[in-house]
Copies of this chain bind each other. A is one copy, B any other.
Amino acid sequence: MTVALRIESTLEAAVALAEAQNAPPRLAAALRHAVFPGGARVRPRLCLAVAEACGGGDTGLVEAVAAAIELLHCASLVHDDLPCFDDAATRRGKPSVHAAFGAPLAVLAGDALIVMAFDVLARAGAAAPARLPALLTIVTRGVGMPGGIVAGQAWESERSVPVESYHRAKTGALFVAAAMCGAVAVGADPTPWRELGEKLGAAYQVADDLLDAVSAEADCGKPTGRDAALQRPSLVAQLGLKGAHARLEGLVGEAVAAIPPCDGARSLRDLVQIQATRLAPKQLARSAA
């Protein structure tokens, strides 16, 4: 089965469970809307790639933790798009969940996706319960307080924002979780994988800032120019377009260098570099060409 299929079928099974006959139908529809069709599924891909690089495994636990991390990412997008945050009408080229279903169901869809992530982990973890505590702890650290993506979003409600903590929490934390969980799920030591997650997460944050600054809404499927409009800390504001682009290239290089020596290092390196070429916003590539 291809990597994409392993991810999509695990997500499909999780969403299908929420669509039982006695479920409130509009929330069930909102969940499907939030998860499919997906974006690049970068975090679960990273998780599966690390697991593969660590020798793989066949417990279903790898797919489960990859899907759990993607569900948590989807939950954060649904809540970030709410009127009280970004008030984004579009996401992945279609109406955001609150635009399509209203704010109440968008709040609940985010909540349900967070719970669903832990349910997916619990079900798959029954086959390897000894690995569950570490997987859960890594995932909750990537998502919750004090330094996960929820904390990252919360920095936007503070008067004084340490840009590095903000970015590390808002984007980096879940990449770190994805990389480290890929190792734990197959029984490997997660420590050597932290830095790869950090560097990739940082690269994604720079790419996201660039995308927001230079892309048209039609190109990236969500509103752009939001950082400036909402006065959010942005690396483009800090370093300028060229400076941010140079930082992105530097971080991708550092990510490749952070891959620990292992059997699957080469294919993981290829994955990082393929992702890296997708990271540079088209607009910037055009203006640089």
* A interface residues (Cβ-Cβ under 8 A, vs B): 17-20, 22-28, 31, 75, 79, 82, 84-85, 101-105, 107-108, 110-112, 114-116, 118-119, 121-123, 125-126, 129-130, 132-133, 136-137, 139-141, 143-148, 150-151, 153-158, 165
Contact = CB atoms under 8 A, between A and B. Distances in A.
A122 B115 contact: no
Name which of A25, A115, A130 has the most chain B CB atoms within 10 A of its CB. Answer: A115
A144 to B, nearest CB: 3
Nearest to A152: B24
Q: How many copies of the polypeptide does the oligomer hold?
A: 2
A107 to B, nearest CB: 6
A157 B105 CA distance: 7
Contacts of A24: 145-146, 151, 154-155, 157-158
Nearest to A25: B158
Residue of A132, A148, A150, A158 contacting most chain B CB atoms (<10 Å): A150
30 contacts: A18-B145, A20-B145, A23-B146, A24-B154, A24-B155, A24-B157, A27-B145, A27-B150, A27-B157, A31-B145, A79-B107, A79-B111, A84-B104, A85-B104, A85-B107, A104-B153, A105-B157, A108-B153, A111-B114, A114-B115, A116-B140, A116-B144, A118-B136, A119-B144, A122-B136, A122-B140, A123-B133, A125-B132, A129-B133, A132-B132
